[in-house]
Amino acid sequence: MSRRSRETGKPTQPRSLYITELEDKLYGEITEELFVQMAKTFVLYYQIDETRTNTNVYGEGQTTIFKNPIQIYCFVEMEEPEVKITKYGMRQDQKITCWMHKRRLEELEVIIHEGDYVEWNGLTYIIVSSIDSRYLQGVPSFRDTIKVTCVIPDSGPNFNT
């Protein structure tokens, strides 16, 4: 006999032998509260508006149009800046890692894409990777965070100002 969801009545796949849907919901609410109430750190997420950005055949655009920024609460981890020596002089590369709550992103209807921008602590970063991270009890449906890695780009964007 297959299990059925209480809300939809459709068959559901077994999630875990040890965690029920009620415990999953409680865990999600607690971790979301940690992100919003305890961290009190947020980034402004700038998503590229693909419909209004003019691109050529290769998908390159002269000017990029952004959607309105979205405030996303997250834990931000800043790494030690790396100094590189190039033929033009020294350059300092700064990198941050943002741990974002997956359910909160779903509520905001945000999908994080590489190439979009975040603003944090007065600096603008470009997203170079976003990875679904921790699983609860090893079950993919219990994902709770997304690890977003960002670096300072060579040239900063114009956020439609």
**Residue-range definition of the domain harbouring residue 25:** 17-151
Residue 142 has pLDDT above 60, yes or no: no
Give the range among 5-14, 27-36, 61-70, 120-129 with minimum mean pLDDT: 5-14
Residue 157 lies in a domain: no
Residue-level pLDDT at 70: 94
Residue 82 lies in a domain: yes
Number of structural domains the chain divides into: 1
Alpha-carbon gap, residue 157 to 117, rounded angstroms: 8
Residue 9 lies in a domain: no
Residue 1 has pLDDT above 50, yes or no: no
Alpha-carbon gap, residue 94 to 34, rounded angstroms: 26
Residue 160 lies in a domain: no
**Alpha-carbon 85 to chain mean position:** 31
Residue 81 has pLDDT above 60, yes or no: yes
Residue 2 lies in a domain: no
Residue 159 lies in a domain: no
**The amino acid at 16:** S
pLDDT band at 17 (very low <50, low <70, confident <90, very high): low
- Per residue in 40-52, pLDDT (tens digit) is 789 999 998 888 8
pLDDT band at 86 (very low <50, low <70, confident <90, very high): confident
pLDDT band at 112 (very low <50, low <70, confident <90, very high): very high
CATH number at 143 reads 2.40.10.270
Higher pLDDT, 129 or 3: 129
